[in-house]
Amino acid sequence: MRKKVRRKVKSLLILFYMKHSLRYFLTATDGVPGVPEFIGAATVDEVQMGYCDSNIKTAKPRQDWMRRLTEGDPKHLEWYSQQCFEDQHVFRADIDNLKQRINLTQGNMFYNCPCILQRMNGCEWDDETGEIKVYYQYGFNGEDFLALDLNTLTWIAPKSQAVAIKLLLDKKIAHLQFNQNFYNNECPYWLKDYVHHGRKYFLSAESPSVSLLQKTPSSVVTCHATGFYPDRAEIFWRKDGEEIHEDGAALEKTCGINHRWSTHNVWVQEWIGGKDVGGKCHRCADSLSLHHIPRVMWQSLENGTCNEHHSTSN
């Protein structure tokens, strides 16, 4: 059973930096019972913010901040609904074409088998460096099928069945240029806007909670952080300003709350002593960025009492 560390700690600090993502997941099925023939979902930082399928035939916001955004800009939601309508017909035709092409090489038995065609495309934005990454790829029946290199504007075919399709798609120059512009420019612009609106919503919740845990006076110290958004934080330790990456991982989300931990080997003399006995300042840091204005939270344990302090620094 872990107990909270009962000794002085100089401070416990959390700083936030991160990469953000906007991803679109499209799935079309044929011969798969119990699911819509077409499903589309959009995520921001791995949180679903929009959904559509061939049954409801329109796009639906999944987060309150997205509902508020589309209420103020109805055309934004109309665009997603139109894309949902168009994509399901395109995917339907794509599945039929794929089945016909593959049927020529694998026989009539394949033509009547269930088929699943998927597409994942989107962009990532590093809010510290400004770097943008984009991707656009297809999967067929659970395997990589085609990928578009948006720098060279050429398709990559990891499967032999996809080579003929790749050669046809490489000739569609206007479509290639449209995707290059959209995912290198429009997608990052929308992502930054979504992060701006979503951040206000998620940060309205309570501040993250941080605890220092230790089994015995001689065992490693664990920094346990909960209740932060988004869930891709990386926790690491700092010793007198120097980053120390040791053991750590994310824990399964419980009741909608994110958890992450990191352990740190530290001498007792360093942990409790002043500089005259080799004392060092040990901090636990979280690598998520909030508009480059670090949110600082630290916890000190003095006289056997845990005292939490929250502040914001520039």
- Asked if 150 and 134 touch (Cβ cutoff 8 Å), the reply is yes
Q: Using the predicted structure, report yes or no on whether residue 164 has a pLDDT greater than 50.
A: yes
Distances (CA, A) of 251 to 105, 227, 234, 259: 46, 12, 12, 5
Confirm if 297 and 286 have CB atoms less than 8 A apart.
Answer: no
* pLDDT surpassing 50 at residue 313: no
Every domain of the chain and the residues it spans:
3-16+207-312, 20-201
Residue 277 carries which DSSP code? G
Q: Give me the pLDDT at residue 198, please.
A: 85
Give the pLDDT score at 13: 42
Confidence check: pLDDT of 179 > 80 = yes
* 41-55, 96-110, 170-184, 253-267: the lowest-pLDDT one: 253-267
Decide: 286 and 238 in contact? Cβ < 8 Å.
no
Total-model pTM: 0.65
C-alpha distances in angstroms, 77 versus 58, 73, 74, 83, 191?
9, 8, 5, 10, 15
CA neighbor of 236 nearest in space, from 219, 260, 270: 260
Kindly report the backbone phi and psi dihedral angles of residue 181, in degrees, each rounded to the nearest multiple of 5, phi listed first. -70, -45
Q: Percentage of the chain with pLDDT > 70? A: 54
pLDDT at residue number 128: 79
Give me 271's structure tokens: 């942990």
- Give the pair of three-digit tokens for residue 136: 């656009």
- Domain boundaries 3-16+207-312, corresponding CATH code: 2.60.40.10
The arrangement of secondary structure in 20-201, i.e. its CATH architecture, is 2-Layer Sandwich (3.30)
- Is 303 or 125 the better-scoring residue by pLDDT? 125
Task: State mean pLDDT over 131-136.
Answer: 95
Q: Report the pLDDT value the prediction gives residue 11, as an integer from 0 to 100.
A: 38
In angstroms, how far is the first alpha carbon of the chain from the final one? 38
Higher pLDDT, 305 or 62: 62
Per-residue model confidence (pLDDT) at position 114: 80
Helices 74-106, 64-72: inter-axial angle, 10-degree rounding: 110
- For the stretch 225-264, pLDDT in tens is 666 555 555 555 666 556 655 555 544 444 444 444 445 5
What tokens appear for 209 in the block? 């909670």
User: Which has the closest alpha carbon to 205: 127, 283, 285, 295?
Assistant: 295
- Residue 127: pLDDT band by 50, 70, 90 thresholds? confident
